[in-house]
Amino acid sequence: MSATPLSNLRVVEFTHMVMGPTTGLILADLGADVVKIEPAPEGDNTRRLTGSGIGFFTMASRNKRSVMLDLKSPAGLEAARRLIARADVLIENFRPGALDKLGLGYDECAAANPRLIYCSLKGFLPGPYEHRTALDEVVQMMGGLAYMTGPVGQPLRAGASVIDIMGGTFGAVAILAALAERARTGTGQRVQSGLFESVAMLMAQHMAQAAITGIEPRPMSARDVAWPVYDIFATADGGQIFIGIVTDTQWRVFCTEFDLTALATDPSLTTQAERRAARPRTLPIIAATFARFTTAELAATCERLGLPFAPIARPADLFDDPHLRQSGGLLDVSLPDGRVVGLPGLPISMNGTRPGVRRDIPKPGADTHDVLIELGYDEAEIAALRDGRTVRF
């Protein structure tokens, strides 16, 4: 079985930044023909971001085709309409009303193509906030994620664009659900995914906890840990490792392996609840024990014993992670300067096969000519569009 189950799906993508491109990436990795529309003459501004945004375009653009159109020109708009008329899915994440002003809103597109799934990825789903400008960081702050992540009194955004990526993923889920419904009804529909609502989904566990206990959850940095050992420890070689001991069996195995007979035989440490309550006196003993070993030694021991563990890694460490490399989890793509690097693929496997790379990161407008030919333009028409700067390739 192939890992490209969406290979008959035609998608036109009007997106930028992270959220919308993530939805397109998921569909593209699963085999869809995703045509990304970039504005002529310079292409998607995401390509030119610097600082922490410099990797946005590269991480979300494999397996897509690039077409550059001037949507402010009648000819460029006509090419876009032809693309939409033959598409199964349209993805957009521009400010509310931007495509409507061009005549590419849902109503106009659905009238021309009743089978179209029109996916809008926004900061907020319809409601009082829907016209606000949102960013990943904005919704993390207002949705409780930053509060739960940072130290007490110091809200802190998560260390990646987790809500953009999550919102984009929910957009793909909505598209697949709409496609399943279209298979039954024959008609498409508009679907939406919201950043703020994605944060709320992540907060559901904390909301439920508050409702059940009547106590507001504290930030994760100050939470009341449920386990006797669930911490980051310093190691002999200057590293750090997280180790969790969350069952009675793991406690016994841990005490035996590290010769902590006093803890194993202490009658006040018989139950999980007792061991958790005794953390202030047991953790210094455990930390001193672990500090005698290197990170690699502790990792090997924990893996042998079946204890949960994780050396503290940095993003760049993943390039050489043996599991990602050997399992097909890193996909080779070209950076803007031509170097090839392995970036994470979709975290799924289908019948033992991981989705891979069919197309490298496209140059701006690299596929404009081929797509226009597919739309029925002849060479003279394409030359006229190019000379009029309506298209670029």
How open is the CA angle 185-191-77, to the nearest 5 degrees? Answer: 100
Mean pLDDT of the region 83-89: 98
Query: Would you place residue 385 in the very low, low, confident or very high pLDDT band (cuts 50, 70, 90)?
Result: very high
Q: What is the pLDDT at residue 226? A: 86
Q: What is the pLDDT at residue 163? A: 98
| Residue 104, SS3 per DSSP | coil
Q: What is the pLDDT at residue 223? A: 85
Helices and strands in the chain: count of H runs, count of E runs: 17, 12
Query: For 115-130, what is each residue's pLDDT tens digit?
Result: 999 999 999 999 999 9
| Residue 52, SS3 per DSSP | helix
Q: Which two tokens stand for residue 304?
A: 């042998």
Please tell me the least confidently modeled range out of 1-5, 95-99, 148-152: 1-5
Query: Would you place residue 225 in the very low, low, confident or very high pLDDT band (cuts 50, 70, 90)?
Result: confident
**Which percentage of the chain shows pLDDT scores above 90?**
96
DSSP 68: E
Mean pLDDT of the region 305-334: 97
Amino acid sitting at position 235? T
Query: For 233-265, what is each residue's pLDDT tens digit?
Result: 999 999 999 999 999 999 999 999 999 999 999
Mean pLDDT of the region 81-95: 97
Mean pLDDT of the region 346-351: 96
Can you list the domains of the chain with their CATH numbers? 10-202+363-392 (3.40.50.10540), 229-314 (3.30.1540.10)
Mean pLDDT of the region 287-316: 98
Q: How far apart are CA 330 and CA 315, in angstroms?
A: 13
Query: For 10-35, what is each residue's pLDDT tens digit?
Result: 999 999 999 999 999 999 999 999 99
How open is the CA angle 308-309-310, to the nearest 5 degrees? Answer: 145
Q: Which two tokens stand for residue 315?
A: 């993003």
Q: How far apart are CA 44 and CA 42, in angstroms?
A: 7
Q: Which two tokens stand for residue 323?
A: 């599991």
Q: What is the pLDDT at residue 224? A: 82
Query: For 36-65, what is each residue's pLDDT tens digit?
Result: 999 999 999 999 999 999 999 999 999 999
Q: How far apart are CA 217 and CA 347, in angstroms?
A: 30
Contact 118, 110 (CB under 8 A): yes
pLDDT at 183 over 80: yes
pLDDT at 332 over 70: yes
pTM: 0.95
Q: What is the pLDDT at residue 393? A: 86
| DSSP letters for 239-307 | -EEEEEE-SHHHHHHHHHHTT-HHHHH-GGGSSHHHHHHTHHHHHHHHHHHHTTS-HHHHHHHHHHHT-
Q: What is the pLDDT at residue 3? A: 82
